[in-house]
Each structure stands twice: as C-alpha cells, then as structure tokens.
Structure 1
Amino acid sequence: MNVDDLVWQRGNAGGVPQKLVDALLDHGCGDLLVEVARGREDWSCAQGAVRGLCAMGEFERAWGVIGPFAATGWQPAVRAGADVLLRCGRVQQALELVRPGIREEDAHDAWRDYAEVLVGAGLVDEAIDALTGRPLDERTLWTLVAVTEGQGRDERVLELLGPIAEKVRRDPGQSEVRHLSDALSAQVRVLERSGRTDEALGLCAADAAAMRGWGADREHASLLARLGRVTELRELATGPAAAAAVRPYVEALEALGRTAEAESHLRGLVETAEYPGSYENQLLELLMRQGRFEDAVKAVEHTFDNLHDGNLLQAAMVLLAEQGRHDLALELTDGRSPDFLAHNEAFWLRDNRWWLMGESGRARDARTELLALPADEVDDREPTIAWLLAQDGRVEEAIAHLRPLPGRRAWTVLAELLVGQGRFAEAIAAVPDVATQQEEERRFWARGTQSREATPSDTGDEPYDDPWTAPWTTSRE
C-alpha cells in the first residue's frame, strides 16, 4: 500500500466518491465496500466499510479492514485504526499505534490524535501532559481546550492558560507569546464552559475594547449571544463593532421569535451602510428561513446583474432550491442583462437552469434547449444530456449514453444511476481504480500544458473543463 496514493486520494477526492460510498452503505452493501477497500486500496471505501462494521458492533472485522492502511503510518489511517482498536478494547495497542513519531510534517496532527486517543482511553491527565510537554502553538492550545471539554479538568486547563493569556495582555509583542494570542479566546471559552460566565464576559469585553487578538469583536459578540445578553449585543451591533456583531444579534433575535426586529435592523443597515453586501446576504437568509421567498428575492434582486462580489443571484437560487422552490429559482435565470451574460456568466447560469428544470419535471424542455446549442458552447455536454434523460424517466437510455464516455463526471453520473437501479456491483465497476484516475488526471494536465504552449495567454487561467474541479455535478447538496 502506497502512502502517496492515499495522500492523493484524500487531496483529490479520488477513489470511489464519498456520495457513492454513503449510498452503498444506505443500501446495506458493507461487504462490497470491504471487498473494494481491500482489492483497490481505496481509502473512502475503507472508511465507509469501517463505519458500517462498527455500527453493527463488528469491531474486529473493522480492524481487519483498516489495519493495513494504518500500517502505512499515514496519519489519517493511523487515527482511524486507533479508534477501532479502542472500540475493540485493545487500549495499549491503540496507544502504541497512535504514539507520535518523528515525522515533522505530521507533528501537530499526530499529537492531537494521540491526545484524543488518550482521552478516549480515560487518560485525560496524560493527554494534558502530552500536549503541554511540547512547545505550545495556537493549534495545540485549541486541541487542549477541545480534548478536555466535559472531562472535569477545566480548572487545570485554566491554570495552564491563565499565565499565557496574562502575558499576551501585558505585552503581546513578547517573543515567547506573540504567536499565542489565541490563548485569550481559549481562556474565555474554558471560563464560560466551567460556569464562570461573568469572569469570561469581563475578560472578553476588555480584550475587544483593547483590540487584543484576532477577531476579538467577533468573540465578544458570539459570547454575548450564547449568554442571551441581547441588550448588550444590540449596543455592539449598532456601534463600531457592527460588522462582527450583526449576525449574532440577528440570530439571537430570531431565536427569541423577534424576527421583525431582526429584519428591521438589517434593512436599516442595507440602506445606510457604505458596503451593504454582507447585510443584504443576511437579510436574504433571514427571509428565506421564514419561508418568505418572494420577499427574499425582492430584497436582493437589484444585485442580480452586478458584475462584482455583491451579486446574490446564485445565493438566492441555491437557497430557493434547498427549500424545494425550484420553480422560483428557475424564474431568476430569465431576464438577465446582456452585459451580465456577456461576461461568461451565461455558462454557469445555463448549467444551473438545466439542473433546476430537471428537478422541476421539465427535463425534456431542458434537453431541447441544450441540444439547440453548438456542442462546443456547452460544458460537460454528454453527462448533462444523460442526467436529463434519467430525470425524464429514461434511465436505461441514460446509462447506455454514459457507458462509452470518458471522464470523471461521466462515470460519477453513471455510478449514481446504477445505484439507483440497485445494480451495486456494476456501480463500483463503473468507477476507475485509483491508478486509472491518476493517469487520467496526468493526461488532462498534460493536454492543458500543451494547449497553453500552443496558444500563449497572459491570463494565467487553467483550462475550464478540469475533470476534478469543474462545477457540474448531479447534486447541488
């Protein structure tokens, strides 16, 4: 088993797609995942198989799957293996497996995992000793806070954090603490969870007023929201810290059923703020959560033809689709300005339009629109046609259309359709193994390099139809 292959799988979403693994688990195909994990050395299948076996209490079988992966020393597999060993009751073996070695590139993850496994074994003080016995950095501080939550060790953690936090407050430029400004937030979090809320709030307010640490205003606002201090939160949301405090304030009002106040506050900011984009987005989300879909669209539709980051067209479409209002989302694809469409926005808009039509029972109309366009003007044309065929109830035609097609998106759609037909082994067979996927990726980038060399460009853009990152998927989850 090759560590580089495992790293590639994780970094490139390689192997069997996670969505397909989840679907196979839902259909009770755990044994198939075990087979693929072993035969293909597929990491996502190994994780899925272990999850399914542990859910059935078959921990020794789960170790049989994950053990060879853990033996490579690759940290994610080591951690997964240690968790399975703990569930087997093989505590010492778990600790030996996860004990940090000397690989510097994995240092933080290794010590975090070791501490978490120690806690899982009931050795909380040993976990604290392991973390504080090495040079502290901000990630280690947060690991210390995380692994001790609910373990009855808050006072000990505060004894460790207190002196560091005070040094940061006195002189944040000291060489020994200038990289540990998160100690302020960490101390506040532990004080809060230990019930010392007034002390936590006092420190947090002082840090925010003195602008100590990154995001002090946001931390202060979030704490006030968690403590239900709405009046004080309003003061922040109407003052210099408004940018950090508005979202917690609006969400606190909403939780109390005071949505009219939340809406009024946001509308006021939209009218008066120099850069209202963030507040417009929050207003859109608030109205969507209330089911006021037409009002939500009306509130932000003036942004829909803008050619900058404040454009909320796609955000509105996604939120409407999540609420099952594909019809209303589809309406937003009409009437866009020629200037907007001329800036390549037509491509993603069309792609989303066809998906919405497919979800709305208009797959046949979408396919007609698609086929009327020149083939070179449609990204991912053939998988899109196949998906629309399936949405129109012509699944076997869609499967036949996809089988000869190359590329990640084609075999992803094919595998999902086969699972939907209960043809689980065929679905796995439709997914190329890791070596084939890697070769496909190499060929793609080689073609892209040759293309750029043949046609010099000063844009620096990568080819759009990257099979690993392009936008078309069969789901907008």
Structure 2
Amino acid sequence: MNTDDLSWQAGNYGGLAPRKVDLLLEHGHLDLVIQAAEERGEWFCAKRAAQELCRSGEFVQALELMEPFVAAGWRPALLVKAEVLLRAGRTDGALDLVRPDEEGRTSQYVCRDFAELLVKAGRVDEAIDLLVPHLEGWWIQSVLVDITEGQGRDERVLKLIASCADAARQALETNRGGLIDEEALVLQARMLERMDRVDEASRVLGADIAAKRYGTQNTLTAYAELLSRHGQLDDLRKLASGEHAHTVLDVFADALRDRGRPAEAETVMRDAIAADDWVGYRAWLSSRLLQDGRLEDAITVAEPGFSWYDCSNLLAPLVYLLFDRPEELLHLLDHPLTVPHHDHEEFQHSWRAFALASLGRTEEAIAVVEAHPDPWTDPRLVRAGLLNAAGHLDQAAAELRAAGTAEAREDLFEVLVKRGRAAEAVIAHPTVAEQRAARAKTASVPVREDGYSAEPPF
C-alpha cells in the first residue's frame, strides 16, 4: 500500500469504486468489504466499512481498519480516523490528530477539513475563526455557510458574509464587465432567508439585480429561485418577462407547476416559443410534457431540435428520460419525426439496443450491435450488458468471462453480485495494479490539492 496507488484509486474511482461497494453493502456483505480493504488495499472499501462499523459501535475495528492507510501517509485516511475517534467520544484525540500547524493553516483545503471536524465536535466558533483568513475565496465562504447551518451562529456568519458581499458589490461597481467573485451576494441572501428574513433577502438581492451588480447567470437564477420558494410570483413574472427570460422563465414556469397550475405554465412557455423560438424553451416544455406522459406532444415540441448540434440537440434529453420506459423509447426512436442525432448517429443504435434488451428482446438487441459494430469499443461487453439488462445473468457472465479483459472483469463483478456470488465477484474484479496497467494508455494528468484536474478539461 502506498500513497501513489491510493491517490490513483481516489482520482480514477479505481479498485472497487463507491457504487460497487454500495452494491456489496446493499446485499449484506460488509465482511467482504472489510476483507477487500485489508487484503487488497481498497480505499473505498476501507472508508465505507469504517462508516458502517461506526454505525454499529465497532469503533476499535474501524480504527484498526484505517491504520494501514494512515501508516502509508494517506491524509484522507487520517481524516476518517479522526471521524471515528470523534464518534467514539474521543474528541480531543480526534482534533489533535489533524490539527493543522502554521503551514497547514495557510491551506484552504486543510482548514476546510479541520473546520468541518470542529463543527462536528461542537466547537463552532473555533471553526469560524479558522476560516476567516480565507474568506477572500468564494468557495470558503460557501463552506462557512454550509457547516454553520443550525449551529446558532447565524448572526456572526451573516456579518462576515455581508462584508464579503459589500466588497463584491464595490468591485462590481468599479469593474463592470470584469470577472468578479460575486457568490457572496447569493450567500448573503441565503443567510437572510435561513434567518427568516425573506423580505430583506429579496430586497437586497433584488437591488443587486436591478442595479446590474452581477456578472453571471447564477446570481440571477438564485434570485428567481428565492422568489419562487416564497411564492412571490408577481415579482418572478416581471423578472421572467423581460431581458432575463432566457435565464429564468423556466423557474417561473416550474413555480406555476409546483403550485398546481401546469396548464398555465404550458401556456407561458408556448407563448414564449411563438415569440422567440429559443432552444431552451423547447427543451423545458418537451421534458415537462414527457414527465406528464404526453410523449406525442413532447415529440412535436422537441422535433425541430432533433438534428441540432450536441448540447442544443433535443433528442437525447428525451431519450434519457425514457430509459426506464423502453416501449416509449422505441416509439420515440421509430417516430417519423425523429432524425439521426447530429454527427452522433451511432447513439441511436445503442439506445435501440438497450430498449430492446429491457423489453426482453435480447436477440434483436444483439442483432443491432452486430449490424452496427463501429460505435462499440468492445462489442462483447455490449452484448454482456444487454444480456444483463434482459435478466440473462448467466449468459452475461459467460460472455464477460470469455472476454477476460480488465474492463470485462469489472462488469462481471456486478453480474456475480446479482447472482448471489459476491465472494466470487470480489475475486474476479481486477486489482488496482491490474486496472492501472489496463488504463496506462490514458495519459495521466496532474491533480490539484482537492483531487480535481489541474489541466483542462477540468
């Protein structure tokens, strides 16, 4: 076990990824999760197992499970160990374990982690003090608001956030058009709202909108959602009727639906389409019609966008909403108004195959794959996935065993767990070393301290 392997697991969801660990736990296999953590150095297994052990009061075993990861110098394991100690009632030991030194206090990430632990230990003021030097960053402002909710420190937090918001307003006034960190405006309104000062929150954020003291749609959307949450529909209607319609008309329409007025919401959006045939209006209306079971109406609304490019394409969003309604998905794909996905016609082959398999029409699904092999990196895995979707688990397992690749063995894991052969599934799953070797062709990229890529695409 070493930090390089552990970092790779965390950054690539390697080893037994969280979804697979959850699958084991859902089937009652905590013992296998613990075993995989101990014998294979599986980080996600260790983390989840420690959480489960704490729930049952098995703190000693949880600490023992973490120890090899802590010994390897893996900081996330140190944080989990501190959580275990805290839950075991050993507060001072937990805090001393991860208390930052002077250098650590210069790191936003280190301070964020320790502040969260301090709040859980009931030392809220210490947590706030720790974050104050870092409040020039919007995300630390957001952390401050998040971790102090329900902790009885709203007045103090509001004062800090209001100061940040005033600084943002001044910057927005003097540097219009520049890139300004304006999240504090929204956070101030959020604080006022959670303190039951809704009118003040609406007034303050509304004044920023009216004075155009904002640079991103996020602030505008946050204001619209605030009005929606508190039933201020007249103000929301005015906001959505002018220059901001592309950004917030959907918020107004959803507010109408939420209040039992779906016909009025539909009329609002149809009128908008008639006046300004913008893709966003069609996207909203078609998805809501589909949610209401009106597939034909949804197709009619979305059809002009079926052949548009990538993010503007309106076929894919309908398809995704129909994944659990395969008969309707096939109807959509076979509809005379449906045209191939722009520059991505191969998507329709995978959608059709999935729908057929979900209906138990496995041979037809596989025939689609065999007739259109180009989109598939490995048709054997696709066939196995279709057999799995159709409930033919033994055939799916046989297909994956025959393929024998690391990716096939990853897919085999889920099939075997479903078949009640969880121990065999863990053995079949490739080790971290095998996964790394199999994925070595993909160039690695440096990551930031928070684990995200330091280079685009982020």
Q: What TM-score do the two structures reach when normalised by structure 2?
A: 0.87
Query: Cα 1:179–1:399, aligned 2, differ >3 Å: closer, same or farther?
Result: same
Amino acid at match of 2:346: F
Pairwise CA RMSD: 2.7
Contact 1:307–1:340, Cα closer than 8 Å, also in 2: no
Contact 2:309–2:343, Cα closer than 8 Å, also in 1: no
SS state of the match for residue 169, structure 1?
A: helix
Asked if 1:219 corresponds to 2:217, the answer is no
What residue is the counterpart of 2:436 in the other structure?
438
What residue is the counterpart of 1:146 in the other structure?
146
Query: Cα 1:174–1:39, aligned 2, differ >3 Å: closer, same or farther?
Result: farther
SS state of the match for residue 309, structure 1?
A: helix
Contact 2:206–2:223, Cα closer than 8 Å, also in 1: yes
> Deviations 1:287-315 (Å, cap 9, x if unpaired)?
23323233222321232233453211111
SS state of the match for residue 332, structure 1?
A: helix
Query: Cα 1:307–1:420, aligned 2, differ >3 Å: closer, same or farther?
Result: same
Query: Cα 1:360–1:184, aligned 2, differ >3 Å: closer, same or farther?
Result: same
CA distance in 2, matches of 1:106, 1:419: 46
1:327: how far off?
A: 0.9
CA distance in 2, matches of 1:376, 1:189: 50
Contact 1:70–1:80, Cα closer than 8 Å, also in 2: no
> Deviations 1:91-143 (Å, cap 9, x if unpaired)?
11221233235777992222111111111001111111111145632122111
Pairing of 1:315-464 with structure 2 (within 5 A): 315-321=317-323, 324-334=324-334, 340=340, 344-373=343-372, 378-392=376-390, 394-443=392-441
Amino acid at match of 2:124: V
Contact 1:99–1:110, Cα closer than 8 Å, also in 2: no
1:445: how far off?
A: 5.8
Q: Give aligned pairs, total.
A: 439
Amino acid at match of 1:245: V
What residue is the counterpart of 1:450 in the other structure?
none
What residue is the counterpart of 1:278 in the other structure?
280
1:203: how far off?
A: 0.8
Of 415-424 and 377-386, deviating more is 377-386
Question: Which of 300, 304, 307 is equivalent to 2:306?
Answer: 304
CA distance in 1, matches of 2:106, 2:416: 39
Question: Which of 268, 272, 276 is equivalent to 1:265?
Answer: 268
What residue is the counterpart of 2:185 in the other structure?
184
Identity of counterpart residues, as a percentage?
A: 38
What residue is the counterpart of 1:250 in the other structure?
253
> Deviations 1:145-169 (Å, cap 9, x if unpaired)?
1111111111111222333323333
Query: Cα 1:409–1:357, aligned 2, differ >3 Å: closer, same or farther?
Result: farther
**Where do 5+ consecutive residues of structure 1 fail to align?**
447-477
Q: What TM-score do the two structures reach when normalised by structure 1?
A: 0.84
CA distance in 2, matches of 1:50, 1:14: 19
Asked if 1:38 corresponds to 2:32, the answer is no
Contact 2:18–2:44, Cα closer than 8 Å, also in 1: yes
> Deviations 1:392-423 (Å, cap 9, x if unpaired)?
55433332221142444412221111111111
Query: Cα 1:372–1:218, aligned 2, differ >3 Å: closer, same or farther?
Result: closer
CA distance in 2, matches of 1:402, 1:330: 27
Query: Cα 1:408–1:313, aligned 2, differ >3 Å: closer, same or farther?
Result: farther
Contact 2:354–2:389, Cα closer than 8 Å, also in 1: no
> Deviations 1:200-248 (Å, cap 9, x if unpaired)?
1111011111222333322211211122111111111111122232222
Of 35-44 and 154-163, deviating more is 154-163
CA distance in 2, matches of 1:137, 1:211: 22
Contact 1:154–1:194, Cα closer than 8 Å, also in 2: yes
Amino acid at match of 1:244: T
Query: Cα 1:344–1:152, aligned 2, differ >3 Å: closer, same or farther?
Result: same
Query: Cα 1:336–1:90, aligned 2, differ >3 Å: closer, same or farther?
Result: farther
SS state of the match for residue 165, structure 1?
A: helix
